[in-house]
Amino acid sequence: MSSVVNNCVPDASPASRDLQIARTPARVKARGPRGCTYSTLVGLFAGAFAVTAGCARPQGILFPPIEPPRVWPAAPDTPRIKLIGVLSDSRDLKAERSGMEVIRAAFRGPRPPIEFSSPHGIAIREPGVLAVADAAGGSVHVIDLQNRLHRIVSGFGDQRFRMPVGVTWAGERLFVTDAKRHEVIELDAQGVCRQRFGVDMLDRPVGIVYAAARDQLYVVDGGAHRLIVFDLDGTVVKTVGGRGTAPGEFNFPTHVGCAGNRLLVADSGNFRVQVLDLDGTCVKAIGHKGDGAGDLSLPKGVAFDGEGHVYVVDAHFENIQVFDQTGRLLMAFGEEGAGVGRFSLPVGLAIDNKDRIWVADSGNRRIQVFAYMRTSS
């Protein structure tokens, strides 16, 4: 199912119609329109109900098994990553449809699906609500995977998003960075704007992440080559970094991830990813410029899996590289292309608590979903 929020007003669904059956004594043959008895009308209504019920489409399997499986690395090595599905538009949710909806679509045509224009930032709130910042589309997609609902928010009040690029959840609170509005916008669970902040501080806000350990937001200001830390009310707590190549300095950073007390920052202009503590002190740098295994060319989305491995999207190599906690390359997966398991300008990355890897494949206008396959200890 899908809906559009424009000025934060949801698209209303058609009202249901209740059938009213006249109460007539059995021995009385009451007459309806054109001489039909009410018992005949009841039969007609019952028949119509049976037809619509028969046309109903049950909810489908969200990510059916892919045959043959797509896994990395290829045999004979033990597979570690598996492709589990793709979301290109709202139809891929395979939502349940009533018989009346099916019949209406047959006569009037199906409702146009909600599609991605250029998915960028991505975040997931357990148990399965996905938020996707669609930069080129000037909108934010909120996708409820359990209830199979896809909603798109294009603005708030009389305002419109201009270039939303980053999203993060803090509980049910959704925070969005808009690079052209130079601010952070908070939306509630229904897509209604709750607050806006940072316009007097931010040059080009891009990546954003919520650190539960501090109850704070870390915002990447790519234009100012730094991180700005806010509390959830939008008050500045501190700034981290500045332009440079030393540890803790940045050159056009883009994305940020968090797990526990550690941050990952895609220091894109320096061809590396920096691991920071929550105070902003650099603990380790991963990668450097080059075209070999473990090198980075244009690092973007970053995330930790449940075992602490570091995942880095490279928009130039059009793959994802996986490192251990020491910065040693473990493997890479993906390559340029339009087929499943391939990428075109991948950017955002999120990993949920089931170690499913959600990748914003922006050039292919879709989200691809992979799974980290743990080995038994």
Q: Tens digit of pLDDT for each residue in 166-184? A: 999 999 999 999 999 999 9
The pLDDT, as a whole number, for residue 40 is: 62
256-268 per-position pLDDT tens digit: 999 999 999 999 9
Domain ranges across the chain: 71-372
Write down the H helix ranges in 309-377: none
Specify the amino acid at residue 185: I
Residue 69, preceding peptide bond in cis (omega within 30° of 0): no
Mean confidence (pLDDT) of the chain: 88
Whether the predicted pLDDT of 70 surpasses 60:
yes
Between the alpha carbon of residue 18 and those of residues 21, 24, 37, 49, 213, the distances in Å are: 10, 19, 20, 12, 51
pLDDT in tens, 79-119: 999 999 999 999 999 998 776 766 776 777 778 999 999 99
> Tell me, what's the pLDDT at 350?
98
For the chain, percent of residues with pLDDT exceeding 70: 83
Q: What is the pLDDT, as a whole number, of residue 49? A: 52
Q: Rounded CA gap, 301 and 349, in Å?
A: 5
Contact 63, 84 (CB under 8 A): yes
Q: What is the rounded distance in angstroms from the CA atom of residue 306 to the CA atom of residue 260?
A: 11
| pLDDT bucket at 189, cuts 50 / 70 / 90 | confident
CA 47 to chain centre: 42
**CA distance linking residue 297 with residue 316, whole number of Å:** 6
Half-sphere exposure of 8 (CA within 13 A, CB side): 16
113-127, 131-145, 180-194, 303-317, range with the lowest pLDDT: 180-194
Query: 267 or 34, which is more confident?
Result: 267
Does the pTM surpass 0.95? The reply is no
The CATH number of 71-372, from 3.30.43.10, 3.30.1490.20, 2.120.10.30, 2.30.40.10, is 2.120.10.30
Segment among 17-21, 192-196, 330-334, 338-342 with least mean pLDDT:
17-21
Residue 348 has what pLDDT?
Answer: 97
Hunting for tokens 């045509």 — which residue is that?
Answer: 109
Collect all residues with Cβ–Cβ distance below 8 Å to 226 and sequence separation of at least 6: 239, 240, 241, 242, 250, 253
pLDDT at 3: 59
Beta-strand relationship, 272-277 and 282-286: antiparallel
More confident position, 375 or 23: 375
